[in-house]
């Protein structure tokens, strides 16, 4: 493997020493790995074909000499999942989720920890210090356990107890700091200095940024599998795809820095022709990068006391990472954006209910950002978008749920009465739900649209749902079932939604049934006046989220 460590300040090139944290020439802590691309290009990507789909697949572009099988946990190689339901709601047919929850400790920090610990092991380190908002320490602890490295984990007292206990479970020493994350980093640095221990330097750690490149490699390779090879790709010189956008929630910003570098290296190899627009998303209560970028500042103004419940993202002072990321965001025509905690918790629910993906609040920040950028028209409906789902929610935090999120079945009394268990169970279950649910007819000629609306209705509430696939079927079904609500598509072959409405409104039995029109079409003035007074609500497909739609439904059924 041919690479050097290049100083970003003086340009000095040195061989990689995992335990060194400074440029030997000027002492700068800002350095990066630089590969001999002519050399790498001779064998990449032909060589990788027969390797397993994990992070080490791209080892020519990683700063590790021999990946050590003993410390691996199956890092990288997470699925790229098409978000069909969410995509339909947002009007984004090419929306993909990089599911980093599926790493060994359920966050994308597993990439960082796998490569960093592998390097430190090669470098002979046996004890180290890291400050963390939770996930880095969990992941480093897991790999450190395998590698025989003792970790001192400095976390703030805001880190949830479950995360602290997981760090401790892996055998690391948790040091709890009551103060900000930036303060915890300072204390950790001082502790490491006094004891002469190696300290993880976050985005300044060579292996951290290098590890995040594998996100770019995997996304490019997976998109090519899903969407086909781009024009100009041949067997001899295959090309991979670049999405239009890479969206990620950020704290220190290491993820997007690595993704940018990864696509940059693929471009040097001639395998992609561009780097995606980067969209780093922050929590509004701690958004130094977003605020500074919006003000046009070249350096970030730190946020001294972060005000967000999403502690994973509480880096108040991004320092030089902002300067680098700002350049990359501007160059790729990306944006920085922030979202509130509430928007993020809502996005977390939307993602779970519509896509079956339970993300931690910090990861949901990226999805709330996506919603905002689509609404603002920054992300276009034709764009291919990859959102990094950075971490799993374990466990779902209590404050996310209001009252009544469980329905309780108590069988203790029943058991005492010694009734037949089966019967007791059934009658207990009967108490759980009312006898009659509001009845809704969904009319749409496309099965994806019917499934989406069915999913929205069933995700939060009890409805009896009927489906009609044509105007003719709709009229018959509605006249027979007399539902509490009709959700009607307009554009259908033969009898369209307008005609269905005419029939319903002219029959006294169906004349007063409320109707929501859900249409993919921008209506003309003429069409709008035809609907006037005929319907109760108009929802444009691709322009509403599930909970907004449910609000309309609830309001009309009451």
Ligand X SMILES: *Cc1c(COP(=O)(O)O)cnc(C)c1O
Per CB under 6 A, residues contacting ligand X are: 107, 109, 135, 249-255, 312, 360, 362-363, 390-391
CB of 336 to ligand X, least distance (A): 12
Secondary structure element (H or E) that encloses residue 499, with its range:
helix 497-506
CB of 66 to Zn ion, least distance (A): 28
Of residues 180 and 249, the one with the C-beta less far from ligand X = 249
Of residues 129 and 453, the one with the C-beta less far from ligand X = 129
**Interacting partner of 363 out of Zn ion, ligand X, none (Cβ under 5 to 8 A depending on kind):** ligand X
Of residues 29 and 82, the one with the C-beta less far from Zn ion = 29
How far lies 244's CA from each of 89, 282, 387, 388, 413, in Å? 19, 20, 11, 14, 59
**Interacting partner of 12 out of ligand X, Zn ion, none (Cβ under 5 to 8 A depending on kind):** Zn ion
Binding mask 16-55 for Zn ion (x = CB under 5 A): -------x-xx-x---------------------------
What is residue 230's DSSP assignment? P
Q: Are 444 and 469 in contact (CB under 8 A)?
A: yes
CB of 296 to ligand X, least distance (A): 22
The secondary structure of 366-418, three-state, reads HHHHHHHHHHCCCCCCCCCEEEEECEECCCCCHHHCCCCCCCCCCCHHHHHCC
Of residues 215 and 477, the one with the C-beta less far from ligand X = 215
**Interacting partner of 107 out of Zn ion, ligand X, none (Cβ under 5 to 8 A depending on kind):** ligand X
Spatial separation of the C-alpha atoms in residues 483 and 481, rounded to whole Å = 6
Spatial separation of the C-alpha atoms in residues 144 and 127, rounded to whole Å = 9
CB of 155 to ligand X, least distance (A): 13
CB of 250 to ligand X, least distance (A): 4
Of residues 107 and 116, the one with the C-beta less far from ligand X = 107
The reply to whether 555 sits near Zn ion by the rule CB under 5 A is no
Spatial separation of the C-alpha atoms in residues 274 and 154, rounded to whole Å = 39
Residue in 201, 183, 180 with CA at minimum distance from that of residue 129? 201
Q: Are 429 and 422 in contact (CB under 8 A)?
A: no
Secondary structure element (H or E) that encloses residue 485, with its range:
strand 485-488
As to burial, measured by CB atoms within 10 angstroms (0-12 exposed, 13-18 middle, 19+ buried), residue 424 is middle
Stretch that binds Zn ion, among 15-23, 87-95, 98-106, 143-151 (CB under 5 A): 15-23
**Interacting partner of 409 out of ligand X, Zn ion, none (Cβ under 5 to 8 A depending on kind):** none
Of residues 156 and 312, the one with the C-beta less far from ligand X = 312
Q: Are 271 and 264 in contact (CB under 8 A)?
A: no
Of residues 281 and 457, the one with the C-beta less far from ligand X = 281
Q: Are 334 and 277 in contact (CB under 8 A)?
A: yes
Of residues 163 and 541, the one with the C-beta less far from ligand X = 163
Stretch that binds Zn ion, among 11-19, 164-172, 214-222, 454-462 (CB under 5 A): 11-19
Spatial separation of the C-alpha atoms in residues 517 and 99, rounded to whole Å = 34
**Interacting partner of 286 out of ligand X, Zn ion, none (Cβ under 5 to 8 A depending on kind):** none
Residue in 475, 503, 469 with CA at minimum distance from that of residue 489? 469
CB of 276 to ligand X, least distance (A): 15
**Interacting partner of 423 out of Zn ion, ligand X, none (Cβ under 5 to 8 A depending on kind):** none
**Interacting partner of 552 out of ligand X, Zn ion, none (Cβ under 5 to 8 A depending on kind):** none
**Interacting partner of 360 out of Zn ion, ligand X, none (Cβ under 5 to 8 A depending on kind):** ligand X
CB of 328 to ligand X, least distance (A): 13
**Interacting partner of 249 out of ligand X, Zn ion, none (Cβ under 5 to 8 A depending on kind):** ligand X
The 3-state DSSP class for residue 53 equals coil
CB of 50 to ligand X, least distance (A): 31
Of residues 9 and 462, the one with the C-beta less far from Zn ion = 9
State the maximum Cα–Cα separation within the chain, in Å, rounded to a whole number. 88
Spatial separation of the C-alpha atoms in residues 342 and 361, rounded to whole Å = 10
CB of 212 to ligand X, least distance (A): 7
- At 303, list the tokens: 């946020």
- At 62, list the tokens: 């990683």
**Interacting partner of 7 out of ligand X, Zn ion, none (Cβ under 5 to 8 A depending on kind):** Zn ion
**Interacting partner of 23 out of Zn ion, ligand X, none (Cβ under 5 to 8 A depending on kind):** Zn ion
Spatial separation of the C-alpha atoms in residues 391 and 408, rounded to whole Å = 30
**Interacting partner of 109 out of Zn ion, ligand X, none (Cβ under 5 to 8 A depending on kind):** ligand X
- At 218, list the tokens: 């995997």
CB of 176 to ligand X, least distance (A): 18
Residue in 460, 452, 441 with CA at minimum distance from that of residue 542? 452
DSSP labels for 71-105?
G----S---EEE-HHHHHHHT-TTEEEEEGGGSTT
**Interacting partner of 25 out of ligand X, Zn ion, none (Cβ under 5 to 8 A depending on kind):** Zn ion
The secondary structure of 124-155, three-state, reads CCCEEEEEECCHHHHHHHHHHHHHCCEEEEEE
Spatial separation of the C-alpha atoms in residues 251 and 134, rounded to whole Å = 12
CB of 211 to ligand X, least distance (A): 11
Of residues 64 and 325, the one with the C-beta less far from ligand X = 325
Of residues 88 and 387, the one with the C-beta less far from ligand X = 387
CB of 125 to Zn ion, least distance (A): 23
| 232-261 residues near Zn ion, rule: CB under 5 A | none
Of residues 113 and 362, the one with the C-beta less far from ligand X = 362
Q: Which residues contribute to the site for Zn ion (CB under 5 A)?
A: 7, 9-10, 12, 23, 25-26, 28
């Amino acid at each position: 493997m041919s690479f050097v460590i290049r100083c970003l300040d003086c340009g000095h090139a040195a061989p990689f020493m995992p335990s060194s944290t400074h440029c030997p020439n000027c002492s700068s802590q800002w350095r990066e790995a630089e590969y001999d691309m002519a050399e790498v290009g001779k064998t990449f990507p032909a060589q990788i074909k027969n390797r397993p789909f994990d992070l080490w697949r791209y080892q020519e572009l990683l700063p590790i000499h021999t990946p050590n099988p003993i410390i691996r946990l199956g890092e990288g190689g997470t699925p790229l999942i098409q978000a069909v339901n969410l995509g339909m709601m947002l009007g984004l047919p090419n929306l993909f989720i990089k599911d980093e929850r599926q790493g060994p400790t359920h966050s994308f920090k597993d990439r960082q920890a796998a490569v960093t610990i592998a390097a430190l092991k090669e470098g002979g380190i046996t004890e180290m210090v890291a400050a963390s908002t939770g996930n880095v320490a969990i992941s480093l602890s897991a790999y450190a356990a395998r590698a025989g490295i003792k970790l001192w984990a400095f976390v703030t007292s805001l880190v949830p107890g479950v995360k602290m206990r997981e760090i401790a479970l892996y055998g690391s020493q948790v040091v709890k700091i009551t103060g900000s994350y930036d303060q915890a980093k300072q204390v950790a640095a001082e502790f490491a200095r006094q004891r002469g221990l190696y300290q993880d330097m976050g985005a300044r750690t060579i292996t951290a940024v290098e590890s995040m490149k594998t996100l770019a490699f995997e996304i490019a390779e997976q998109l090519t599998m899903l969407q086909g090879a781009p024009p100009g790709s041949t067997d001899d010189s295959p090309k991979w795809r670049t999405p239009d956008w890479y969206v990620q929630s950020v704290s220190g910003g290491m993820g997007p820095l690595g993704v940018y570098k990864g696509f940059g290296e693929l471009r040097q190899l001639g395998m992609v022709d561009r780097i995606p627009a980067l969209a780093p998303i922050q929590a509004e209560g701690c958004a130094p990068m977003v605020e500074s970028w919006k003000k046009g500042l070249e350096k970030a103004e730190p946020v001294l006391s972060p005000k967000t419940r999403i502690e994973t993202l509480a880096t108040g002072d991004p320092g030089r990472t902002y300067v680098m990321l700002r350049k990359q965001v501007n160059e790729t025509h990306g944006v920085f954006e922030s979202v509130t905690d509430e928007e993020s918790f809502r996005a977390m629910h939307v993602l779970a209910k519509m896509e079956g993906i339970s993300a931690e609040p910090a990861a949901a920040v990226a999805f709330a950002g996506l919603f905002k950028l689509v609404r603002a028209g920054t992300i276009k409906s034709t764009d291919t978008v990859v959102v990094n789902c950075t971490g799993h929610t374990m466990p779902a935090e209590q404050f996310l749920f209001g009252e009544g999120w469980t329905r309780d079945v108590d069988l203790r009394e029943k058991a005492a009465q010694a009734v037949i268990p089966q019967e007791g169970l059934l009658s207990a279950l009967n108490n759980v739900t009312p006898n009659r649910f509001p009845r809704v007819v969904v009319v749409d000629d496309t099965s994806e649209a019917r499934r989406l609306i069915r999913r929205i209705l069933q995700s939060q509430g009890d409805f009896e749902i009927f489906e009609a696939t044509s105007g003719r079927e709709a009229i018959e079904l509605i006249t027979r079932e007399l539902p509490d609500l009709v959700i009607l598509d307009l554009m259908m072959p033969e009898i369209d939604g307008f005609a269905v409405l005419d029939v319903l409104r002219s029959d006294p039995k169906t004349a007063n049934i409320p109707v929501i029109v859900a249409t993919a079409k921008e209506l003309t003035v003429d069409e709008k006046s035809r609907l006037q007074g005929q319907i109760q609500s108009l929802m444009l497909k691709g322009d509403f989220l599930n909970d907004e739609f449910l609000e309309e439904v609830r309001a009309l059924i009451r």
